[in-house]
Structure 1
Amino acid sequence: MDLVTPSIGLIVWHTIIFIILMFFLSKFAWNPIIKFIDQREEKIKISIEKADQVKKELKHVEDQKNKILKETHVKRDMILKEAIQIKEKIKSKAKEEGMIEKKKIIEETKKNIQIEKKVAIRQLKNKIGDISIQIAEKILKKELDQYDKQDKFIKELVDKLS
């Protein structure tokens, strides 16, 4: 049983050694250990603060990115609307110009047809006049072949004129 129960002398020596050890540890080891732990705690605190700051900056950058994307989408939509309006204006203008050009061409064609019609009628009248003269000439030659008939015809003409 001696081994299980310590003697008073042993307890006193253990206590003295423990106190001396605590004294030396507190004098020489505790300050550096506590200083190291405090420095480590400070580094961790700074790292956490930096991480929080980076998180905030990242959120701010994300918000700016979203804002810029929205602005870009709005600008894109405006540009598309303007492009569609310009396209419609150009299309409408081209259609108007096409209609005006079509009307001009139709009017010119009508004028040309009228002019050609008048020329054709004039040529036809001239041709009919020439043919009438030729027919009259042939008829007169036939009728006036004989001298008596010529004389009679001239007298009738003179009588009608007088």
Structure 2
Amino acid sequence: MIEVHRTIRTPPERIFAVLADGWSYASWVVGAAHIRAVDAGWPAVGTRVHHRLGPWPLQINDRTVVGEMEPNRLLELEAHAGPLGIARVRLTLENISDTTTRIRMGWMAVSGAARYIPEAVLSLMLRPRNSETLHRVDDLAVHRELNPPHVRH
């Protein structure tokens, strides 16, 4: 499993709020381009985010499915990426203090073409990408307003 981690100066509840918002998925997952739909109940086990991957006009319609979830502690995803296959992505939150959380992101190919790429090569490609993913989670968790006021038009 390829793993990266980041220490974020916010409690795990704020980080999990980002992960639990299926509509924000394309904001923090590097490579996700557009959210097409989010199943009701996300991130309950078995629910899906339907998304597009890649740059336009070469986008692939695909999905990510929740495999395991413990609020404010764990979110395991089965990320589908067309012909590249399926990856298991495990995001764990470790409370370090009242104001600090360590998030770990583990990535492992479980099917498709990515399983045939040597782990050392995958690691060179994915560590920077996954580190950027956690950087985006950090920005959203620390800076976004969790319950924005209702705007009237």
Shorter-chain TM-score tier? under 0.3
Between structures 1 and 2, the one with greater strand share: 2
Between structures 1 and 2, the one with greater helix share: 1
- Determine which structure has greater relative contact order: mean sequence separation of CA pairs < 8 Å that are 6+ residues apart, divided by chain length: 2
Largest Rg, 1 or 2: 1
Structure-2-length-normalised TM-score: 0.17
Structure-1-length-normalised TM-score: 0.16
